Amino acid sequence: MQPPRVLSIAGSDSGGGAGIQADIKTITVLGGYAMTAICALTAQDTTGVHAVLPIDPAMVAAQIDACVNDIGVDAVKIGMLGSPEIARVVADRLEKLNVPIVFDPVMISTSGAALADTATIAAFERLMAIATLTTPNVPELHALGGDTAMRARNVAYVAKGGDADGPEVIDRLIVPGEPDREWTAPRIVTRHTHGTGCTMSSAIATFLASGASVVEAVEDAREFVRAAMLAAPGLGAGHGPLGHQAVR
């Protein structure tokens, strides 16, 4: 039986905890076939992002075309883009696809490093407009104008609550024309949170590629992320990676 084909358009994390590497692990463990279009190289570990090298936009486009034209795509996850030019190229390509698209508007790494400048964030508008779902965390939602601005854009989004304070994590799903949904769970107190956003967005994309509804995909992705956090292997001196391989 053919697995769901999921294309991750994102940056590479040399430490393996986030970005393309986290996406490949997530998609594979959940039964999908992972493909990639790498937008940036990072020298990164659990303590932070030490260097970033954006890829030429034409090369990003070539990677997307190669995957779409030969293997085919059932869903797309978008993560770190690296430059406004890359964001525009990605939007150009994805506007032609009729598949679920999950946009994780990566701006700041878990360690606090900036991964998108003002011009890149401005280019996010087209991607939010074509995405099936956008998945901002607390600081990203603030940078995008908060709930008021997101609702005005008339787009579906998950407001992730992992970066908020308090003993419970509240994730909210807002879909235009539908009642808001909310999930609450006890906070997992751990330093091993590197790649949680990448993992959640690629899990949602994989579930959507498998035929799940948006609500089902978000619900199942949340449970997968929590299980992977609890299975963290304890690597690194900083914000350690999740234990994707241990979740079955």
List pLDDT tens digits, range 97-148.
Answer: 999 999 999 876 666 666 667 787 788 999 999 999 999 999 999 989 999 9
Tell me, yes or no, if 197 is annotated catalytic: yes
Bridge partners (DSSP) of residue 46 are: none
Output the pTM of the full model: 0.95
| CA 65 – CA 73 distance, rounded (Å) | 10
Average pLDDT over residues 217-221: 98
Of 160, 162, 199, 240, which one is the catalytic site residue? 160
Q: Is 78's pLDDT higher than 90?
A: yes
Average pLDDT over the chain, rounded to an integer = 94
Tell me, yes or no, if 77 is annotated catalytic: no
The answer to whether the beta carbons of residues 21 and 12 sit under 8 Å apart is: yes
| CA 241 – CA 4 distance, rounded (Å) | 25
Tell me, yes or no, if 196 is annotated catalytic: yes
Of 198, 199, 206, 243, which one is the catalytic site residue? 198
Average pLDDT over residues 150-172: 95
User: Beta-strand (E) ranges in 141-218?
Assistant: 157-159, 168-174, 181-186
Rg of the Cα atoms in the chain: 16
H helix or E strand, kind and range, residue 218: helix 214-230
Closest CA to 40 of 120, 123, 156: 120
